[in-house]
Structure 1
Amino acid sequence: MEFVGDEDRFAALEAGVAAATGIERVAPGLAVADAVDPERVRGLAYTRRALDLLGRTDADPRSARAVVEAASIGREGTVAVRARALRDSPAVSTSEVERECGSALVVRGFDVDLDDPDHTLRVLFADDTCLVGWVVAESVRDFSARRPTDRPFFQPGSMAPMDARAYANLAGAGPGTRLVDPMCGTGGVLIEAGLVGSDVVGNDAQAKMVRGARENLAHYLDGAGSPAAPATLGPSPGGFDVIRGDATALALRDDAADGVVFDAPYGRQSKIARHSLDDLVGDALAEAARVAPRGVLVADRSWRDAAVDAGWRVTDSFRRRVHRSLVRHVHVLDRA
């Protein structure tokens, strides 16, 4: 598995929840897994590709070629070889790697087609490790088509779609699931959860946000004029609803959802005037534990103690820098 960005633990957890089992990180930007669901890989945010691994070797062109020469191929048709050195890997000539591995494949009867090959062989270098494998799945990198400023309804402070997708995946988004966002704002997390197949329910205290989130969800999940092409992710987009209400008293029955994900207020006055920020987030966490067994809380500070007090077990946590003045604290939660 070839990760995006430089937070491998975060990428591995997202992939492990949504698309793979038995993930082991082996080098910066690289991991191996026992099994991968190619269709689910298409909806990952922080995994770029999944490969059918031919072999792992030292980080030099001749060792990579030796893997290709010794491997059991089991494929026919045209091929292309793409080599890449990840992050701060030692200098390696990717063009030499592509020539060496390509010539080894030609010797074994393949024709090279760099424009539209039947199969693509990736040769990936990180530190002193080289992984060689056939591409079996790639994530759909269309996040720029859903920039917050390009949505029908926009408000400052909206989360980037790539991060919203990752948090939705961590909360268990996918076909046959229901995801709830009790502080949905403009609906960014719900859009991304819907595009990977979840039915989604949004809640917000402000009528303006409820109307705007409905407009955004209709645009992307109903497909009316949508540039997002949700069908490219495999499943049909999920259904959606947005209601106006208090995040501490949701109009949902117990265990109404498979997952809850929300972005807590960032040190600003809550729009629900009778709540202090501490009470709002603490009570919202307790309410989230009532409606779903899994959750993700994103905030500008740690709410670990409040989550535990509300009936959650914090299984993972991350500090993710957005810009100089904002670090997001991500809490991955299971009901205790």
Structure 2
Amino acid sequence: MTPTFIYTFAASQDEHSLWGLEMRSLFGQETDSFIMKSDLNIDPNRSPFIKEQIEVMYEGANMADILKQVEDIVLHEETFKVIFVKINDLSEEDKIPYEDRRLMERDLGLHIDAEADVHNPDHVFGFVTLGGRWYFGKYRTNDAVWLLHMKKPRNYSIALGTRLARAVANIAVPNPIGVQAIDPCCGIGTVLVEALSMGINIVGRDINPQIVQGARQNIAHFGYTSEVTFGDISDINESYDVAILDMPYNLFSTTTPEEQLSLLRHARRIANKVIVITIETIDDMITEAGFVITDRCTANKRSFARQVIVCS
């Protein structure tokens, strides 16, 4: 049988557009709900929006079906814990009160022939209801590693946030196997750190030598390794599967429209797929550079918005 996985998600209203693009990239589909079933095994730590994953072992039409099936679990001397996975956006008629959830956890625990340990179990199981059916299986939660990456030794105010950077890395490289990526305007390496932490093969480059040193320091600080070179994108002769291009901006930026177009053209020259991040609407410029826009989203942060555009 094909393995089945249940995922729960968390995203603020401002993040829904970005979350949707990341879901389409990782799962090939999206959902309006904070829960989804998929045949794909995505590490929950990859996404800033995935809360939990259940690798389904048993499913049934009701809890009685699940109670009967969990009696087959054999853990020998190992301990376990059972968690009812709570979904925050359910309708009132579908919500299950806290006391009932605890009773279900206790009932399931009594049907598993092993010792329960709520503090330090060898195995954690989760169960949830979705679409009128019940699911039980191995439970994993997200460790939110990107929060640790906020504490870089080198930083500056206009850098991408780590949540956005992690989502962008997933949009660019949903499956890292055999993919070579580049961030040719990498700044202090926020995207590089997130990508490297997920096993993505990525290199960086920047035209500012001091910024390059900062990116190298940040990468080394978190124990990752990657090549970060100093130089202009026009000097790159290698080819890559994907490039992540965060267009230069801020009040002190002197980048002209002609230079922006040159960046886009060189990105198209060196990569088959490019993720463009911009605070301006530059669709005409993207088209002029020879790209086709295949997907996009808006990443909002209070009154500030960035566009994330998938180009091929």
Query: What range is the shorter-chain TM-score in?
Result: 0.7 to 0.9
Tell me the residue number matched to 2:38. Answer: 33
1:251 aligns with 2:236: yes
| CA 36–83 in structure 1, closer or farther in 2 if over 3 Å, else same | closer
Q: Is the 8 A contact 2:70 2:112 kept in 1?
A: no
The alignment's TM-score, normalised by the length of structure 2, stands at 0.81
Q: Is the 8 A contact 1:260 1:288 kept in 2?
A: yes
2:22 maps to amino acid: E
1:205 aligns with 2:207: yes
1:293 counterpart SS class? strand
Q: Aligned pairs, how many? A: 296
- 1:52 shift after superposition: 2.3
Tell me the residue number matched to 2:265. Answer: 286
Tell me the residue number matched to 2:160. Answer: 159
1:305 aligns with 2:293: no
Q: Is the 8 A contact 1:186 1:212 kept in 2?
A: yes
Partners of 1:33 and 1:210 in 2: how far apart? 40
- 1:164 shift after superposition: 0.9
- 1:103 shift after superposition: 0.5
Tell me the residue number matched to 2:73. Answer: 75
The alignment's TM-score, normalised by the length of structure 1, stands at 0.75
Q: Using the TM superposition, name which of 162-171 and 92-101 deviates more.
A: 92-101
Between the aligned residues of both structures, percent identity stands at 21
Tell me the residue number matched to 1:98. Answer: 102
1:258 counterpart SS class? strand
Tell me the residue number matched to 2:48. Answer: 45
Ranked by relative contact order (alpha carbons within 8 Å, sequence separation 6 or more), the top structure is 2
Tell me the residue number matched to 2:171. Answer: 170
- Which one of 250, 253, 258 corresponds to residue 270 of structure 1? 253
Partners of 2:122 and 2:203 in 1: how far apart? 41
The gaps in structure 2 that reach 5 residues or longer are 1-6
Partners of 1:211 and 1:151 in 2: how far apart? 13
- Superposed CA offset, 1:101-125 (max 9, x none): 4304523545433223344333457
| CA 129–3 in structure 1, closer or farther in 2 if over 3 Å, else same | farther
Partners of 1:75 and 1:8 in 2: how far apart? 38
1:202 maps to amino acid: G
- Superposed CA offset, 1:164-214 (max 9, x none): 111111111635432211221111001111111233322222222112112
Tell me the residue number matched to 1:228. Answer: none
| CA 298–209 in structure 1, closer or farther in 2 if over 3 Å, else same | same
| CA 108–205 in structure 1, closer or farther in 2 if over 3 Å, else same | closer
1:328 aligns with 2:311: no
2:158 maps to amino acid: G
1:103-122 matches, within 5 Å, as 103-107=107-111, 109=113, 111-122=115-126
2:237 maps to amino acid: L
Q: Is the 8 A contact 2:146 2:194 kept in 1?
A: no
